[in-house]
Each structure stands twice: as C-alpha cells, then as structure tokens.
Structure 1
Amino acid sequence: MTNVFFSPRAYCKIILHAAKYPHCAINGLLLGKQKNKDGRMDLYIEDAIPLFHICLHVSPMAEIALTLVNI
C-alpha cells in the first residue's frame, strides 16, 4: 500500500485554486518524491502547478505547458 503525504504548500494551492474556479474543471501537475521504507512506498507531494481551467483533453496545449514548467 502506498501512503501519500501533501505539503501544506501543495495542499493549499490545490484547494484554493479549486475554490477560485468552482464551476470549472482544473488540471495540473503534482511534483513530489517517492521513498521506499520497510517494503512500502511513501509518496511526498511537495508542490502543485495548476495548468488549465478548460477542457481536459488539450494535448497540444498540455505539451507546451509541460515544456514551460521548470522543475
């Protein structure tokens, strides 16, 4: 089983962005790290990058947005 942990920064970005646009679907990127402990996997989400508020099937726009995100 995988345990998922959110940093306060990532959690606040997700909640506040969804609250600002309650009538729209949003999508974005979750940035994190994976750590293995005693045979189980822990996932630490450190940041969130919101991308769009429109249709989720926007592959050309998504490809451009992914090239602009600097990790």
Structure 2
Amino acid sequence: MKESPESTSPPKLTDFGSLWVQGLKIIVVIVVYMIIPGIFLGLTVASFIFTMRHFPIVPPHVMYSGFYWSFFGV
C-alpha cells in the first residue's frame, strides 16, 4: 500500500509475494545502513575494554579515545 486508504475498512491483502519482497528490501537496507554505526560501536567497546584491562600503562589520549569514537560514531 503506497498511500492512505480513503475508507475505514482494511484493504484486501493480495500479491503476498510482492509484499514479502518489499519487506525483504527494507530489512536489507536496514542491515546495510547499520554496518558503519556497528563498526564505530565495536571500536568504542574495544577501546573501553582495552583501557579497563590495561589502565595503569595506557596514556591519557588512548584512555579517552573511547569517548571520541562514541561521539564520532553517533
């Protein structure tokens, strides 16, 4: 359905194959769109874990890089 119906009764569902393909296209676009934010989120989490495991020997600019990646990625 591409536009709002003018009646109050629900539309008849026909051509299920076309509806399924449209839904699959939407899912593919969402997954592709989330690749870049997922990479940034992974870098943020990895930086945080690395900093927490090696806190005494990590320089300050590396310690705050997780905050940088979280703001840069979002």
Give the TM-score range, shorter chain.
Answer: under 0.3
**Higher fraction of strand:** 1
Higher relative contact order (CA 8 A, sep 6+): 1
Bigger Cα Rg: 2
Q: TM-score, normalised by structure 1?
A: 0.26
